[in-house]
């Protein structure tokens, strides 16, 4: 019953439980000119701060599509507190765009007022959990809305971590009421890099908390001696194993809004739409499954 209720709720929600694509500058004009049949779009919030052409374009696009604002710079895990000026810039973009979803990452990027331009992994400790929860509370109170927090891909773990990442993420959701943006590619990448069990990761997340799924391509870096690190570079198609993990995620979570991300070597819009329609096929099967269950 829980799953079916979820499906009904999402069907009426601001972002449909369908496939969307990450919108990047090279596709602004093509999207406005052709208005492709895509259920929704997601952008990086930081790219639309300030005034001028970027936000003006996004406002025009917003007239045709629900928009999700996905931030990369708030640094929810900074020990010293959030950069309030950055939170205000996010608030200003949200005021103009009226997004259907707002999301950020389970990571940190800022220390001593300096921005380290990447999503850095947190130690999975009670101290870090308290800090992240405080900052999610602060963000939700400021924006006056629920946000989603995404599991990052990671290339290292800290020795003093004591909590599995999925339990940490689930605890942030249960303590703050935020949702989870489940990046299936990131689970695959991190699990490969750290020897985790990706099924255990999915099983550790409550379906009711999942507000969105991300899919993307990644690369494999050879380090010699048969050692590899998988790198989340968003520069290629989703690999078959990640499609498989996505199907497992849908089986557990039900139909969830799903985004195709592509950030390096950005291809033509039709390639992104092709990847999205592949996700849409899987989403359709899940929706059909719930309809059948409803009818039975």
Partner 1 sequence: MPTLLELQRAVYRGLVAAEEGFCAAHVVADRIVGEARLNVYRNTLIGNLTTALRLVYPAIHRLVGGPFFESAARLFIEAEPPQSAWLEEYGAGFPEFLAGFAPAASLPYLPGVTRLERAVNMALHAVDAAPLDLSRLAAVNAADQGHIVFVPHPSVGLLAADYPVDAIWRAVLSQDDAAMTAIDLAAGPVWLMVERNASGVEVLRLPEPEWRFMSELCASRSLQEAIDAAPEIDAASVLAGHLAAGRFIRFGLRSELIQVVN
Give the interface with partner 1 as residue ranges (CB under 8 A): 46, 49-55, 72-75, 77-80, 83, 85-86, 89, 108-118, 120, 122-123, 125, 127-128, 131, 155-160, 195, 221, 223, 227, 229, 231
Helix (H) or strand (E) holding 104: strand 101-105
Q: How far is the CB of 151 from partner 1 (least distance, A)?
A: 17
Q: How far is the CB of 80 from partner 1 (least distance, A)?
A: 6
Nearest-angstrom CA–CA distance, 260 and 164: 26
**SS3 call for 257:** coil
State which residue, 78 or 258, has the beta carbon closest to partner 1. Answer: 78
Nearest-angstrom CA–CA distance, 84 and 234: 29
Q: How far is the CB of 250 from partner 1 (least distance, A)?
A: 30
Nearest-angstrom CA–CA distance, 77 and 190: 18
State which residue, 248 or 266, has the beta carbon closest to partner 1. Answer: 266
State which residue, 83 or 137, has the beta carbon closest to partner 1. Answer: 83
State which residue, 113 or 240, has the beta carbon closest to partner 1. Answer: 113
Question: What are the C-alpha distances in Å from 114 to residues 87, 109, 119, 292?
Answer: 16, 8, 14, 53
Q: Are strands 227-231 and 210-216 parallel, antiparallel or unpaired?
A: unpaired
Phi, psi dihedral angles at 270 (to 5 degrees):
-65, -25
Q: How far is the CB of 225 from partner 1 (least distance, A)?
A: 8
Torsion of CA 41, 44, 48, 53, to 10 degrees: -60
Nearest-angstrom CA–CA distance, 173 and 136: 9
H-only helix segments in 47-83: 53-62
State which residue, 251 or 266, has the beta carbon closest to partner 1. Answer: 266
Q: How far is the CB of 191 from partner 1 (least distance, A)?
A: 14
State which residue, 175 or 252, has the beta carbon closest to partner 1. Answer: 175
- Distance from the Cα of residue 116 to its chain's centroid: 20
Burial profile 32-52: b = 16 or more Cβ within 10 angstroms, e = fewer: eeeebebbbbbbbbbbbbeee
Q: How far is the CB of 108 from partner 1 (least distance, A)?
A: 6
Q: How far is the CB of 115 from partner 1 (least distance, A)?
A: 4
State which residue, 49 or 271, has the beta carbon closest to partner 1. Answer: 49
- Give the residues across from 101 on adjacent strands: 68
Q: How far is the CB of 172 from partner 1 (least distance, A)?
A: 15
State which residue, 167 or 278, has the beta carbon closest to partner 1. Answer: 167
**SS3 call for 203:** helix
- Distance from the Cα of residue 166 to its chain's centroid: 15
């Amino acid at each position: 019953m829980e799953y079916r209720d979820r499906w009904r709720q999402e069907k009426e929600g601001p972002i449909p439980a369908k496939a969307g694509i990450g919108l990047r500058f090279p596709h602004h004009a093509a999207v406005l000119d052709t208005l492709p049949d895509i259920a929704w779009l997601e952008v990086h919030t930081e790219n639309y701060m300030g005034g001028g052409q970027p936000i003006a374009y996004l406002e025009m696009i917003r007239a045709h599509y629900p928009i999700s604002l996905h931030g990369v710079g708030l640094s929810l895990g900074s020990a010293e507190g959030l950069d309030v000026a950055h939170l205000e810039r996010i608030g200003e973009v949200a005021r103009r765009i009226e997004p259907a979803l707002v999301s950020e990452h389970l990571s940190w990027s800022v220390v001593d007022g300096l921005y380290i331009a990447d999503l850095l992994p947190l130690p999975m400790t009670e101290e870090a959990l308290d800090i992240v929860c405080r900052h999610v509370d602060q963000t939700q109170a400021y924006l006056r809305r629920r946000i989603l927090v995404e599991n990052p891909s990671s290339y290292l773990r800290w020795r003093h971590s004591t909590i599995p990442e999925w339990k940490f993420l689930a605890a942030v959701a249960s303590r703050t009421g935020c949702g989870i943006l489940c990046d299936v590619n990131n689970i695959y990448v991190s699990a490969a890099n750290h020897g985790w069990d990706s099924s255990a990761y999915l099983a550790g997340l409550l379906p009711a908390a999942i507000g969105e799924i991300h899919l993307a391509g990644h690369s494999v870096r050879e380090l010699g001696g048969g050692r590899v690190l998988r790198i989340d570079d968003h520069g290629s198609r989703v690999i078959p194993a990640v499609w498989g993990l996505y199907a497992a995620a849908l089986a557990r979570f039900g139909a969830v809004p799903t985004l195709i991300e592509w950030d390096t070597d950005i291809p033509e819009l039709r390639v992104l739409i092709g990847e999205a329609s592949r996700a849409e096929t899987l989403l359709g099967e899940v929706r059909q499954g719930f309809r059948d269950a409803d009818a039975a």
